[in-house]
């Protein structure tokens, strides 16, 4: 299936030079996760946290974009204007990812329970979202539905995949999806996050447009935000 998504000549365009991958991924990864210590330390209600979260995410996008542009110009991003075909494909893909996410997570949690492995039922970010309201919630909703999907799709679907794809398309898909799930540090949701990573990667490859993957990621995050809002009555 995956082999049919990329023609041989298009696979060469997907690959990125190793120095560009190392530089861009390191810069982006460090920027994107930099607010995590503050969040875990309970600083989420402080203005300094929001400033760090927004600034680090935007700096990550800027650093990754600058490095990629330096190595390959604008075409290296594989971004074009969204078409109705892209949007429709994203909606269908997202509609498939959501139940798949719920199913694999339910089976995984049952397995963890059966084997006695301890796990947190709810992701730290969702716990945070359920305990804030008003202006804080709005800031969180904007962050996770706009700049975060842009940063993560650029980081995982374009840069990391572009560096690993020379080892094989399936290897690259599995590796990037695994890494995407792992860096969310949420054991109970690991297989579901893997599904999200793989789904967004396939959307990007099928549509040959990074914006399509960003749109799908944004829709999925918006659903998570809506779920948090409904559970807290925000």
Alpha carbon distances (Å) from 122 to 112, 130, 149, 187, 228:
14, 10, 21, 10, 11
Q: Interhelix angle for 135-145 vs 210-232, to 10°?
A: 160
pLDDT in tens, 102-156: 999 999 999 999 999 999 988 888 888 888 878 889 999 999 999 999 999 999 9
DSSP SS3 for 41: coil
Q: Where do we find the tokens 């749109």?
A: 215
Mean pLDDT of 84-104: 96
List the domain range (segments joined by +) for residue 175: 2-232
Looking at residue 7, its pLDDT comes to: 52
Look at 136-140, 158-162, 173-177, 199-203 and tell me which has the smallest mean pLDDT.
136-140
By the 8 A CB rule, do 178 and 98 touch? no
Residue of higher predicted confidence among 39 and 186: 186
CA distance 150 to 126: 20
CA distance 149 to 87: 16
Whether 2 has a pLDDT exceeding 70, the answer reads no
By the 8 A CB rule, do 90 and 220 touch? no
**Number of folded domains that form the chain:** 1
Looking at residue 171, its pLDDT comes to: 94
Looking at residue 234, its pLDDT comes to: 54
Looking at residue 9, its pLDDT comes to: 47
∠ at Cα 81 (176, 10), nearest 5°? 50
pLDDT in tens, 47-86: 778 888 899 999 999 999 999 999 888 899 999 999 999 9
């Amino acid at each position: 299936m995956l082999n049919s998504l990329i023609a041989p000549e298009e696979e060469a365009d997907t690959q990125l030079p190793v120095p560009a991958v190392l530089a861009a991924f390191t810069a982006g990864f460090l920027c994107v996760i930099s607010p995590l210590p503050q969040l875990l330390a309970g600083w989420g209600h402080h203005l300094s946290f929001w400033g760090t979260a927004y600034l680090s995410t935007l700096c990550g996008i800027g650093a990754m974009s600058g490095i990629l542009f330096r190595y390959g110009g604008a075409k290296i991003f594989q971004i074009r204007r969204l078409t109705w075909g892209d949007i429709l494909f994203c909606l269908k893909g997202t509609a498939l990812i959501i139940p798949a996410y719920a199913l694999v997570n339910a089976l995984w949690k049952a397995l963890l329970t059966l084997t006695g492995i301890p796990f947190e039922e709810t992701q730290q970010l969702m716990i945070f979202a359920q305990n804030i309201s008003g202006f804080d919630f709005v800031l969180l909703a904007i962050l996770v539905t706009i700049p975060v999907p842009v940063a993560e799709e650029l980081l995982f679907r374009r840069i990391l995949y572009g560096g690993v794809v020379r080892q094989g398309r399936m290897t690259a898909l599995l590796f990037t999806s695994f890494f995407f799930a792992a860096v969310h540090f949420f054991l109970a949701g690991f297989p579901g996050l893997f599904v999200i990573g793989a789904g967004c990667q396939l959307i990007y490859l099928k549509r040959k447009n990074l914006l399509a993957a960003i749109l799908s990621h944004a829709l999925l995050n918006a659903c998570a935000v809506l779920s948090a809002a409904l559970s807290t009555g925000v």
